[in-house]
Amino acid sequence: MAQHPSPGDNGSVGTEQMYFDRELSWLAFNQRVLAEAENGQVPLLERCKFLAIVTGNLDEFFMIRVAGLKKQLDAGLESPSVAGFTTKQLLQRISQLVREMTDRQFKCYSEQLVPGLAVQGVEIVGAADLDEQERAKSHHFYEEVLYPILTPMAVDPSHPLPTLTNNALYLAVRMAVEHSRGLRGARLGVIQVPQVVGRYFELREPGRVRLLPMEQLVEMHLAELFAGHRILSVHPFRLTRDTDLDLDEEAGEDLLSVMEQGLANLPQQAAVRLNVAADMDDELLAMLWEHLDLSEDDLYRVQGPLDLKALWSLRDLAGFDSLRDPPAPPIRLAQLPKGEEMYEAIAQADIVLHHPYDSFEPVIDLVRTAAEDPAVLAIKQTLYRTSGQSPVIDALKRAAINGKHVTVLVELRARLDEERNIRWARQLEQVGADVIYGLVGLKTHCKALLIVRQEEKGVQRYVHLSTGNYNDATARLYTDIGIFTARKALAEDVSGLFNVITGYSVPPRWNLIEIAPTGLRRRMLHMIRREIELHSPATPGFIRAKVNAVTDAEIIDALYEASRAGVKIELLVRGICCLRPLVEGLSENITVRSVVGRYLEHSRIYHFHAGGREQVYISSADWMERNLDRRIESLVPVIDPQVRQRVLEILEAGLADNVKSWSLLSDGRYERYENGEPPFDSQKELYLRASRIAQQQTQAAPTPEEILKKARRRRKDAPTPRRRKGREAQ
């Protein structure tokens, strides 16, 4: 099997250790993403996307995880982690691995992607490569568009270095005043490269496009921006800051004001990394360095463009479809018609959607329909992350304007989405929705939608529960599972869940679901230990799970115990995995694989043998301490046989993948998974299956007239509705 080197092997920590370090395991995940950028079987513009993702992931890693480790070090917290690292050792190991990964990134960029794209007619060029006509076009763009935006800033005793924007791209300029007697004194100037105009200036010809990075276009005109000075050297740089909000949630009058104050302080938070061009001269670096509070370990010299996130924009480059993955438009199930017929369809049976293969539109349609439906009394929804122009938010605002009782939990502490969520919360409040900002000390991470409707037969509740966010943008990029249901027991549970979130209600005795932080950990441990108790040669137990991360030591220890008892455990873990598999006497019955492909694997599935009474769940929670103890999460049983079959097909497809799958070895390295079977790409196969399901439903689906006729017949046969008490209508 071809092996792929990974930082999952924790340095000097021997294989006898029980856990891998979570930070190094996270870096190992990004090594696997980087491998997709290096993979010659992937279309060129998709490879650019993967390289951009790695850069963005590393930015977030420094902003949150490295920043947190630095604060631990400053506080003197040096006790070894469960993987055996002190904080100082871990920071050193991270620095080493990130430098190695950065070198791989730019080798991939300069030796593979740039030449490969040029052959296909997409050239990334420098200022020196432009001909006279191209220079004229770029100069015109500079004068008409770019120049009015730019702000050249001098740095001297009377002009201190301004607060540098987190991860923005800047040019550092070393210059001297031109005087009749020669040059006088070296000075420092900085200028931010604006992102609002795009990262490349396009120069198009028939069948070809030449892309000039915007920082080079700015550099071409520095003499005009710093008139009267001789430019001695110029190089780009990026500064990364700590963006982890340390909030005293008990101190403010309300969570919103505390969050707004925390966000206001973010631009002033400590710097944790400085990226500079590898060839930046020592004089210029010294002039810049004296204004920054950084150590030598925080300096990263980069052999190439500093912000490879710019490559993400190439994915939408017009006219080069052959360099992208084949189109895979989301599929609309005939089982879910538009308009009020959706209620009838959901009332008949539970319905599952698997995004992005199945369209997210039915979720939006349900909220829009409810917003305009005179029979709808209330809409309740949790929102963790939403898109920039969210149709779900628009529908909720419309519902409130129409007089519906709208209750929305907007999680203000959704990391890196805080400002957007505050904006949505304010807009919803302005139209009369009841907006809850979350619970002190707990993030609300569960995904739930409840619609309460007055029908002839009485009050009916319609529910949507999901593993992913109500975000129409990420629903095209992330794999997630959502279930529509009108099942009474689940509807009662979701009503109780909202009462817990919005008030002082004591968690009820749940009919079917379980939530964190009150009982989900206990339920998970119970189900793992039950496999041990019920396991026998006649009825061998198994546990299968698809999650984003496995880091919780208590869960890992329980899985080790199950493995020692002979229970077979198969895990699909997209990202961080602190569990060490395949160790004799500890975890020889545990396998861990990771699928990294076209879509980000985000759905969470848990499958237990349970002595032959198999149980299947979807969840918003991973096996992480934060999910089990510090968030409101949901664990939802999959009851309908057809829905269960499809959910298990999703899990089994991931386990069968031998094209985009990696195996975690006992020493922490990942290798490409090969099983000798014909190639099986789970994401391609799941799209084909979704297409077949949609085709079968279209052939068998009743017409809208038949659906309405059946709905009228049900209303005619229903008993005369009586006035219900207020609690039942909630």
| Of 49, 54, 224, nearest in space to 147 by CA | 224
At 600-650, the pLDDT tens digits run 999 999 999 999 999 999 999 999 999 999 999 999 999 999 999 999 999
Cα–Cα dist 547/556, whole Å = 13
Check residue 268 and give its pLDDT. 66
* Residue 502 in this model has a pLDDT that exceeds 80: yes
At 522-571, the pLDDT tens digits run 999 999 999 999 999 999 999 999 999 999 999 999 999 999 999 999 99
The pLDDT-based confidence of 389 (bands split at 50, 70, 90) is confident
Name the burial class of residue 72, with classes exposed (0-12), middle (13-18) and buried (19+) by CB atoms within 10 angstroms of its CB. middle
Cα–Cα dist 213/312, whole Å = 13
Sign of CA dihedral 333, 339, 342, 344: negative
Least confident span in 39-53, 179-193, 292-306? 179-193
Return the structure tokens found at 391.
């149709």
The pLDDT-based confidence of 730 (bands split at 50, 70, 90) is very low
The pLDDT-based confidence of 11 (bands split at 50, 70, 90) is very low
Cα–Cα dist 628/521, whole Å = 6
Domain segments of the chain: what residues? 39-323, 341-512+704-729, 515-680
Check residue 721 and give its pLDDT. 39
Strands 208-213 and 122-124: parallel
Secondary structure (3-state) at 585: coil
Return the structure tokens found at 381.
């929804």
Name the burial class of residue 131, with classes exposed (0-12), middle (13-18) and buried (19+) by CB atoms within 10 angstroms of its CB. exposed
Q: Tell me whether the CATH fold assigned to 39-323 matches the one assigned to 341-512+704-729.
A: no
Out of 64-78, 282-296, 356-370, give the one with best mean pLDDT: 356-370
DSSP state of 292: S
Check residue 6 and give its pLDDT. 43
Least confident span in 72-86, 229-243, 304-318? 72-86
515-680: in CATH 3.30.870.10: yes
The pLDDT-based confidence of 259 (bands split at 50, 70, 90) is low
Check residue 568 and give its pLDDT. 98
At 109-129, the pLDDT tens digits run 999 999 999 999 999 999 999
For 186, 351, 362, the CA distances from 335, given in Å and listed in that order, are 71, 8, 10
The pLDDT-based confidence of 348 (bands split at 50, 70, 90) is very high
Check residue 9 and give its pLDDT. 46
Check residue 135 and give its pLDDT. 95
Check residue 250 and give its pLDDT. 47
> Are 259 and 245 spatial neighbours (Cβ–Cβ below 8 Å)?
yes
Query: Where in 330-475 does DSSP place strands (E)?
Result: 351-355, 376-383, 405-410, 434-436, 443-444, 447-455, 458-466
Check residue 450 and give its pLDDT. 98
Q: Which residues are 382's β-sheet partners?
A: 409
Check residue 343 and give its pLDDT. 95
Least confident span in 85-89, 135-139, 606-610, 686-690? 85-89
Check residue 17 and give its pLDDT. 82
| Of 345, 405, 418, nearest in space to 378 by CA | 405
Q: Which residues are 451's β-sheet partners?
A: 379, 462
Query: Which architecture does CATH list for 341-512+704-729?
Result: 2-Layer Sandwich (3.30)
Check residue 702 and give its pLDDT. 61
* Residue 270 in this model has a pLDDT that exceeds 90: no
Least confident span in 300-314, 428-442, 550-564? 428-442
DSSP codes of every residue in 18-45: SB--HHHHHHHHHHHHHHHHH-TTS-HH
**Cα atoms found within 13 Å of the Cα of residue 290, Cβ hemisphere only:** 10
Check residue 497 and give its pLDDT. 94
Known catalytic residues? Answer: 445
**Cα atoms found within 13 Å of the Cα of residue 21, Cβ hemisphere only:** 27
> Are 434 and 360 spatial neighbours (Cβ–Cβ below 8 Å)?
no
Packing angle, helices 418-430 and 255-265, rounded to 10:
140
Cα–Cα dist 606/617, whole Å = 5
Return the structure tokens found at 545.
């799970």
Angle 16-563-666 from CA coordinates, rounded to 5°: 35
**With pLDDT > 90 as the criterion, what percentage of the chain qualifies?**
71
CATH class given for the domain over 39-323:
alpha beta
**0.85 exceeded by the pTM?**
yes
For 47, 372, 464, 480, 565, the CA distances from 331, given in Å and listed in that order, are 25, 25, 18, 14, 43
> Are 138 and 220 spatial neighbours (Cβ–Cβ below 8 Å)?
yes
Check residue 728 and give its pLDDT. 33
